[in-house]
Amino acid sequence: MEEFLVDELCRLVAIPSVSGEEGQVLGYLEDFIAGLGIPALRQRVENQWYNILVNHRKGNCLILSAHVDTVPPLDGFPPQPLVEEEAVWGLGACDDKAGVAILMGLLVRFAGELERLPVTFAFLVDEEDQGKGSETLAKEELPPWGIVLEPTDLKICSCEAGSLEVEFTTLGKMAHGSEVEAGENAIEKAIKMINLLKDLHFLGEEDPRLGKSLMNILLFSGGDGTLRIPHLCRVLLDFRILPHQNIEEAAAEIVQTLERENVDYTFRDVSLPFQIDPNSWIVEALAQALEETTELKASLGGMKSWTDAAHLLEGGTQPVIFGPGHLPTCHTPQEKVDIKELTLAYKTLERLLEKIIEGDVPS
């Protein structure tokens, strides 16, 4: 199975699938599934692309999902998948085409047993942009338990950080660049605003699985390099919100600080944090499967980024996030997934599904 996983992952990475442009990879997956003699359901997502659902029926106890889209490429990303240093490199190799390849492997393994396997397989679009794929899926009746395949270093993540994404604009006064006294520099005002926001009360609080509540500057744009005082600066910030924090109170503190400085702002995105019971069936069953098939001791963790798990939770599923790969390298030219981890993640889920067929399901 290792060779299959590596080969399919390389094929998937070679297919461009930036959010909103997933058509080619969806076609590849549909052809692959049809080749197994398995029916698949297209679930339309806002009249553009669609999710692919396999074995989706009422009464299923579990949903396995992976997203097929990637972030846009940057200079330095390998243009083609590269197998080197016992890893597969390339845009999307880890986030999240490793998860897609694992689902494909599981479909090969259980193709003849799906009638006895109460598990939905979901290939989702648009995770890296607006999450419309999982938002659409969550409108249906879903299984009570879920595993969202994402890079977690094989940790079982029963919690996920939320976020507040805020854009603000500072305005200055344009003047000749040598006449500093005559102008008002919008960039300097933006830097002052960022420093004020760094001192918000909720920042620095900590969760043992997710680390600290922090602020990240996603975009900073002002000036054009011409000898004049910049009159406008645009900033996009992302605030990590922990499960024990009140996101409405955090947002109110941000608003109060921005309005006190008379700065124009808008909230671009609001994602709620969540956590499920670490002693729930899905956590314990996945941990047992991991330990039965690997030499690893199962460990719990937290997902610092938004994932499709948030929408599945809204749809009534209790999800965990699990998979091979190291999140810090994702979305960068260093993105890769270790082949050993890829195989161990597959074996863990294979064992979990075997146990479900054997009757190890929650009552």
What is the per-residue pLDDT across 158-206, written as a single tens digit (0 to 9) for each?
A: 999 999 999 999 999 999 989 899 999 999 999 999 999 999 999 999 9
Strand, helix or coil at 293?
Answer: helix
Q: What is the pTM of this model?
A: 0.93
Residue 289 CA to residue 301 CA, distance in Å, equals 17
Structure confidence at residue 46 (pLDDT): 84
| pLDDT band per the 50, 70, 90 thresholds, residue 360 | confident
Is pLDDT of 361 > 90?
no
Report CA-CA distances (Å) from 105 to 17, 25, 69, 121, 129. 20, 16, 19, 11, 26
Contact 211, 304 (CB under 8 A): yes
- Is the pLDDT at 216 greater than 80? The verdict is yes
- Where are the strands (E) in the chain, listed by range? 40-45, 49-54, 62-67, 82-84, 87-89, 119-124, 145-149, 156-160, 162-171, 206-207, 211-212, 215-222, 232-241, 264-271, 274-275, 300-303, 318-322, 336-338
Q: Is the pLDDT of residue 254 over 80?
A: yes
When pLDDT is averaged across residues 107-115 and rounded to a whole number, the result is 96
The predicted structure's pLDDT at residue 359? 86
Interval 252-277 mean pLDDT: 96
> Over 70: is that where the pLDDT of 78 sits?
no
Residue with tokens 């030499």: 295
- Tell me the average pLDDT across 109-121: 96
